[in-house]
Amino acid sequence: MNEALNPSYPIMVVDDEEAILLAMDTALRMAGMNNIITSKDGREVMDILSRQKIEVMLLDLTMPHIHGEDILRMVTRDFPEIPIIIVTGTVDVETAVQCMKSGAFNYLVKPVEEGCMVTAVSNAIAFRELKRENMSLKQRILSDTLEHPETFAGIITNNKKMISLFRYVEAIARTSQPVLITGETGVGKELIAGAIHALSGKGAFTAVNVAGLDDHVFSDTLFGHVKGAFTGADSNREGMLEQASGGTFFLDEIGELSPASQVKLLRLLQEGEYLPLGLDHPRHTNARILAATNRDLWSLQEAGKFRKDLFYRLQTHHIHIPPLRERMDDIPLLVNDFLAEASRVVNKKKPTPPKELFTLLRTYSFPGNVRELRSMIFDAVSTHTSRILSMKAFKSHIARKGERVVLRKSDPEKTPLITFFGELPTLKEGTELIVAEALKRANGNQSVAAQLLGISQQALSKRLKNSAV
């Protein structure tokens, strides 16, 4: 299998000394950057740039034939998007200032410490990615259309919030920065992670659920181990992170990580380094890290259960997927799609949903979100026997959950459901007002209104008849 290139476009090193070129090339490759081209002759630079896109350039100043400052001016004039890091043996403040004025991104003095050089190159790559992302975001904001709608075909929606979220995904998909995906259980966090990976066009997609993993199992699962690392380690085993090299590594349930595992993940995000069990020297990865959780990480860090530095490092990009109750306009689309899917699976003719089904579903808060709706549809299709889909399975499911209040965002323990101003209504008047509101929300459907009120349809019919007398 061919090794994925990191970064996507080459790092160009220009220096007339062969030993320095070799040392820089080796240091960068040891840090996981394997896409490098070198040149000993400054006269080749402009010709190479005319044929080859470059991510970052490391440029020596003192070279024969053409001086580094002249190359700097030409490159910044014709290819201003390329960050140029000056590397020179001349300790001259005036020269350094002049180079920065001419457009240099950074200035390093020989002999360059390897860590400083790797950090400078990493910062330059991140700077370019940020510029690309900003440009892409501007284009996405100004556009109402998706460039790759086929990527999101598995997510059934026509909701404006979701379409806007898709445009953001398209904008950030090709960067290498971490992405934090949040949302309640069942909203489709892994589907969004899969879309980010598909749009990145890089490597394999590797996913692991870290909930319930102690630190030892976490390290062994992600980073692997070497022979003899612990009792039973009879051979080397690569971790899942190594399998994701050059691609996307998706960590689900990130809010469940132990404190010790959080430290290791932070190092991975900051330095791109990890330690397989039993190994003394770190390995590097160029996998793109995506993380998801249904937990409130802000509350966890305030409670001291989640590291603040890890939280901020994870959410370089943050995608929050709205719950189904905030996009009820998608209910008809989802029901139709799940009916077709369920009918294929159970080998039955696709039933027709009654109109009142959509009214009923819009009164339910769906704590399990899209996944719960799909399960409800599958259950109903499995047991239906006529052309029209029965509502019995749906009513039974909602009754078991004890859900009968329509989509309220306020906390009932903190905010009263009804606030009275002025004169209190009588008990009879209050009851009539509540019944009228339930019928209004149920679009006149007594069965659904009774579900909202927590009474039987017969009891509601009797109450309505008595009121009419």
Query: What pLDDT, in 10s, does the model give residues 217-236?
Result: 999 999 999 888 888 888 98
Confidence of residue 141 (pLDDT cuts 50, 70, 90): low
As annotated, the residues of the chain forming the CATH 1.10.10.60 domain(s) are 418-469
How many Cα atoms sit within 13 Å of 130 on the Cβ side? 8
The average confidence (pLDDT) of the chain is 86
The radius of gyration computed from the CA coordinates of the chain, to the nearest angstrom, equals 30
**Cα–Cα distance list, 253 to 155, 170, 371 (Å):** 20, 24, 17
d(CA 236, CA 242): 13
Provide the angle, in degrees to the nearest 10, between the axes of the packed helices 18-30 and 114-142.
60
pTM (two decimals):
0.68
**Cα–Cα distance list, 254 to 265, 267, 320 (Å):** 10, 15, 15
d(CA 276, CA 282): 8
Contact between residue 200 and residue 286 where contact means Cβ atoms under 8 Å apart? no
Contact between residue 254 and residue 292 where contact means Cβ atoms under 8 Å apart? yes
How many C-beta atoms lie closer than 10 Å to residue 365's C-beta? Answer: 17
- Following DSSP, what letter does each residue of 202-257 receive, concatenated? -S-EEEEE-TT--HHHHHHHHHEE-TTSSTT--S-EE-HHHHTTTSEEEEE-GGG-
In sequence order, what are the beta bridge partners of 321? none
> Which residues, including other chains, have CB under 8 Å from residue 397's CB and lie 6 or more apart?
376, 379
Instruction: Name the one residue in this structure whose structure tokens are 């709205």.
Output: 322
d(CA 197, CA 351): 36
407 has pLDDT over 50: no
pLDDT for 409 equals: 41
Is residue 278 left, alpha or beta, with left meaning phi > 0 and alpha meaning psi from -120 to 50? Answer: left
d(CA 199, CA 191): 12
Which CATH number describes the domain made up of 418-469? 1.10.10.60
Pick from 178, 57, 29: nearest CA to 120: 57
Kindly report, residue by residue over 149-187, the tens digit of the pLDDT.
899 999 999 999 999 999 999 988 888 889 999 999 999
pLDDT for 198 equals: 94
User: Which segments of 102-159 does DSSP mark as H helices, in order?
Assistant: 114-142
Confidence of residue 412 (pLDDT cuts 50, 70, 90): very low
Q: What is the distance in angstroms between the CA of the first residue and the CA of the last residue of the chain? A: 82
Domain 11-132 matching CATH 3.40.50.920: the answer reads no
As annotated, the residues of the chain forming the CATH 3.40.50.300 domain(s) are 143-322
Average pLDDT over residues 102-116: 88
Q: Is the dihedral of CA 442, 445, 449, 452 positive or negative?
A: negative
Determine the topology of domain 325-407 in CATH. Answer: Helicase, Ruva Protein; domain 3 (1.10.8)
Which CATH number describes the domain made up of 143-322? 3.40.50.300
Q: Which tokens go with 292?
A: 């998801």
As annotated, the residues of the chain forming the CATH 1.10.8.60 domain(s) are 325-407
Confidence of residue 38 (pLDDT cuts 50, 70, 90): very high
465 has pLDDT over 80: no
